[in-house]
Amino acid sequence: MTVHKLYLDSFMDMYNGEIIGYRIGKHPSAKNILDAQAEAIKITEDCPYRRTFHSDRGWAYQMKSYGESLKKERIFQSMSRKGNCFDNAVMENFFGLIYARVKIHNIPNCYWQGLDKYDILRVTQKAGSFSAPDWYRERADTGADRPCFCVCLLVCDLYLARERERRKIMGKQNAAGTMPAQRTFLSIRQLTVAGFLSAITIFLGLTGYGFIPLVIMNATILHIPTIIGSLTAGRKVGMIVGFMFGIFSFIRSLQAPSALLLFAVQYNVVADAFICIIPRILIGVIAFEIYRHLKIREVWRIAITAVLTTVCHTILFLGSFTAIVGVPYAEAQGIPFMNVINIMLGITAVNGIPEAIVSGLIITPIVMALHRAGLKVA
């Protein structure tokens, strides 16, 4: 019997131990890795939660094209620590099992003749009641040049066949309306984060701790929970926390308005609601998009996101006021409209810059700590 060495590149779903993507080649191949990765990505594309692809630190998983494929699909890449094989114990166990069975039982040249000697119990336990399909018998090749490592192909195909069958059944149930949709607007974790950060926003506003006294003005930090929500749980959470911030700001403008919002309330309550709420909702989107597009060191990525988002918040709030009630405000004060614009620019410089600096100093260590704890957006 001629024995050939084959290289198996496989991706396992840790939810149920199924191999959802694989390629086999006679030589180590970047193409095989990327093809198997693409297959795993496609099969799991309907996952409603953040996907994480974990691997060791092999050369193939450090390729630029491998990482870019994951980033394109917004998949988190996780890698084992250096010199620690236990971090990838699941796949090490899988390969060890395959190697041991092939070596100990001396699998002969064809698929079917080797099944009696191969410990098929391991496969059937993983696959439940799903047994080896008949077409494996039809594909059996009694030629003397069959690689003994072909049992890996059998195991992988067995897992894949069961996975495809399971997804096919789920698809039919969804189409018939007998199975609830898998996708949800927010996960339990996201709902928890949104509720907690919204409560913090309201607490800061009610107690006055959301305003930090500086030399000539007070810097607000009520927008900080919104930015933290976007950077740790996604734009949806940021938008929800921002909406709660806007609602609180709107209620405060009706009860104890500032000089600017007092005029907005007297002029048009709907306009006041727009000025208070919409810019705060957009904070969540802006923070998420800035963070997603920055490709720099993590600490600077968070700090720059916090600073730029705070500046954008100030510009959006004052810009909304100027665009909606700027002309009536100028007429009521008896000043040219350009003076109103100059006033807004002055407030942006005096308030916006200190608030941006304070936000960067507060948000950066908090988000870094939450990311290390595992609370990180995809």
- pLDDT score for 207: 86
Residue 364 pLDDT greater than 70, yes or no: yes
- Second-level CATH architecture of 7-176: 2-Layer Sandwich (3.30)
Average pLDDT over residues 57-82: 87
User: 337-347 and 298-333 are packed helices; what angle lies between their axes, rounded to 10 degrees?
Assistant: 150
Average pLDDT over residues 1-7: 63
Picking from 153, 191, 287, the residue whose alpha carbon sits closest to that of residue 231 is 287
Average pLDDT over residues 62-70: 89
Query: Between the ranges 44-58, 189-203, 319-333, where is the mean pLDDT highest?
Result: 189-203
Q: How do the domains of the chain map onto residue ranges? A: 7-176, 188-372
Residue-wise pLDDT for 165-208, tens only, equals 666 666 655 555 554 445 567 788 888 999 999 999 999 888 88
Average pLDDT over residues 275-282: 91
Positive or negative, the CA dihedral 349, 355, 356, 357 is positive
Query: Is 188-372 CATH 1.10.1760.20?
Result: yes
Distance, CA of 4 to CA of 25 (rounded, Å): 11
Per-residue pLDDT band for 92 (boundaries 50, 70, 90) equals: confident
Task: Kindly give the pairing relationship between strand 18-25 and strand 52-55.
Answer: unpaired
- pLDDT score for 167: 63
Residue 294 pLDDT greater than 50, yes or no: yes
Q: What separation in angstroms does the CA of 210 have from each of 200, 256, 259?
A: 10, 16, 19
- pLDDT score for 19: 80
Q: What's the pTM?
A: 0.53
- More confident call, 199 vs 220: 199
Residue 119 pLDDT greater than 80, yes or no: no
Q: Which of these ranges, 74-78, 111-115, 199-203, 230-234, has the smallest mean pLDDT?
A: 111-115
Do the first three CATH levels of 7-176 and 188-372 match, i.e. the same topology? no
- More confident call, 38 vs 214: 38
Distance, CA of 275 to CA of 261 (rounded, Å): 9
- pLDDT score for 103: 52
Q: What separation in angstroms does the CA of 199 have from each of 195, 213, 240?
A: 6, 22, 12
Per-residue pLDDT band for 139 (boundaries 50, 70, 90) equals: very low
Per-residue pLDDT band for 86 (boundaries 50, 70, 90) equals: confident
**Cα distance from N-terminal residue to C-terminal residue, the chain:** 49
